[in-house]
Amino acid sequence: MTLLEIIFLFGILMMLIGRFYQLRYTTTDFDTFGHLYFSKRLKAERLGPFGPITSNVVASKAIPNPFFINWFFVHLFGIDLLTKINRSLNTLIDTFFSGVFFVILHLAGFRLQTILLALLIYLSTPLWTTLVISGPRLRSFTPRLLSEVLVMLYFTFIYVDIGLSEWQIIAITSAMSFAVLSSSKFGVQSILFTGLLCALIDLSLLPIIPLALSVLCLILFFRVPFLSSVKHHFNHLKWYANLNRKGLSYAANRSNLKGLWSKNRSMASNLQDLLMTKAKDKGPLAGSILISFTLPLIVLIFWDFQFFRSFEFSTPIMAVLLLFIVINIKFFTFLGESERYLSHVAILLTCGFSSIIQKYELIWVVAFLLIFNSLYFFNSIRILSKKVSAGKQTNDKITAFLGTLQPKVVLCFPYHVGSYFQILLETDHQLFGSILTDNEEHPITKKGLEPSYPYLDLDRLDEMSNDFGVNLLVLRKSALATAGFEGWNPPSEWQVIKTIGKGVMIYERNKDETDTFEKPG
């Protein structure tokens, strides 16, 4: 091994250690409790990878979602062990598949230096590594990471030659696309859009044949739940597109870069806020800062496009960069975070970057990026180490107290107090809220009971109690002013039965017993 290869290998080992070290500062988050709950319901109801699962949410319908990864891991580990290891599971998966990519690229004839540099950049890139801004990708059990890995493997097998026949490639990639289509809604969008663009760029059907075969298998073996899931996802996108058109969705202003810099703050404060907070909410910035080599890669592609097109992964790279640009146009932002499309071919991107860098011996560019990535990572560790876990402790106390009560119908204000899914996972209570419901058909929407997410209309508390059996209220006092209910107090028949910390009150309705809805078995 050359000195440079030894340095790259040492950097990879340090990043792997750092990735596991940062997990000590994590807790099980809102989304993860949701996926653990889905896993629990799948096993309890003895369902297949599409469910549909029923939930303890009042007036909710069965949920026909793609749950293959939840289904697979809950049957592999059981819900108790899965809950215990959930914080480290995705990091373990990413580490394992980094090794798998090393082997595949080595068999395909890539230079050792190219592979090591590609893996080092992948493992150190902020959006794919640092827990402060990577969301649930590494820090907990969600399908997101495995979806990204499977899509990467899908296009890797299609575009590199490791001695397999075309039929073997189609069989392997069909299995991967089957897993993606039955696991992750965003993964479905990513593999579909990227595959179609690759087929158009290459004028070849190979990028979409395995995808078509897996769709055919799903229709043959899981026709009703699969088509219900597709319909549900399409309706959700249509609903979100409508919100986006009106400027009411979270994504509507992701491509708007106004207000990123304040004249009333110091440069250091502005930079800290920009890099660690605002960038993750802005698609163009997330792509160019948190995936730190994106802009240099685009420049290098135009610098020597002929060489780039001779590279094995040039087609999927062009496809996702085009998607990244298009989805940052306001009209298309409802299709999801643009940078996550880049994440679904992450190692392919870093391989392309590494190959061009080495051809032109631009080691100074690598040095700059690795220094930036390292400083970003250490700063995120500093932030994580100072982060107070009081919110998590409060949620645990709320759930523990609720576990001592007889089953009731609980309203959380806002939904995240007590962690909506944690209550569903760890207690027998029912919840009243819009999460896990049909957005347009649920009574909350029809009756206008949710003025703004994640807050229900407290002025109609008695109405919700009478109509839906709500008899327990978990209230974070500080949220009242935020939601426009400053000074609000519950009706006289609601009495405080528990105060947790300084700001969480639990009220019970002391009127005649309210009806409870039949919970799933």
Q: How much is the pLDDT for 518?
A: 47
Whether residues 227 and 292 share a domain: the answer is yes
Q: Is 74 within the bounds of a domain?
A: no
Indicate if 345 and 290 belong to the same structural domain: yes
435 and 485 in a single domain? The answer is: yes
Q: Are residues 11 and 127 in the same domain?
A: yes
Query: CB of 103 within 8 A of CB of 94?
Result: no
pLDDT in tens, the chain (521 residues): 899 999 999 999 999 999 999 998 888 888 899 999 999 999 999 988 887 888 899 988 777 778 899 999 999 999 999 999 998 999 999 999 999 999 999 999 999 999 999 999 999 999 899 887 776 688 888 888 999 999 999 999 999 999 999 999 999 999 999 999 988 888 999 999 999 999 999 999 999 999 999 999 999 988 877 888 788 788 888 888 887 788 777 677 777 777 677 777 777 777 777 777 777 777 777 777 788 888 888 888 888 898 899 999 999 999 999 999 999 888 888 888 888 999 999 999 999 999 999 888 888 989 999 999 999 999 888 888 776 555 567 888 999 999 999 999 999 999 988 888 999 999 999 999 888 776 666 788 778 898 888 899 999 999 999 999 999 999 999 999 999 999 899 999 999 999 998 789 999 998 654 444 444 44
Q: Are residues 13 and 118 in the same domain?
A: yes
Residue type present at position 270: N
Looking at the structure, tell me whether residues 211 and 337 fall in a common domain: yes
Gap between the Cα atoms of 57 and 225, Å rounded: 20
277 and 414 both lie in a single domain? no
Q: What is the pLDDT of residue 388?
A: 53
Residues 139 and 204 in one domain: yes
Respond yes or no on whether the N-terminal peptide bond of residue 454 is cis (omega within 30° of 0): yes
* pLDDT given for residue 130 in this prediction: 86
- Same structural domain for residues 259 and 400? no
- Dihedral over Cα of 16, 22, 27, 30: its sign: negative
- The Cα–Cα gap between 260 and 278 comes to 7
Q: Which domain holds residue 356?
A: 3-28+87-360
Structural domains in the chain (count) = 2
Last residue of a domain, one of 339, 360, 381: 360
Domain membership of residue 65 (yes or no) is no
E strand segments, 334-433 = 409-413, 430-431
| 227 within a domain of the structure (yes/no) | yes
> In this structure, is residue 370 part of a structural domain?
no
The verdict on residue 377 lying in a domain is: no
Q: What CA–CA distance (Å, rounded) separates 227 from 239? A: 18
Assess whether 355 and 414 both reside in one domain.
no
Q: Which residues of 312-349 are buried (b: 16+ CB within 10 A; e: fewer)?
A: bbbbbbbbbbebbeebbebebbbbbbbbbbbbbbbbbb
Dist. CA 351–CA 7, nearest whole Å: 17
Residue 405 lies in a domain: yes
428 within some domain: yes
Q: Is residue 261 part of a domain?
A: yes
> Could you tell me if 356 and 394 lie in one domain?
no
**Burial grade of 263 (CB within 10 A; 0-12, 13-18, 19 or more):** exposed
Co-location of 350 and 405 in the same domain:
no
* pLDDT at 515 (0 to 100): 46
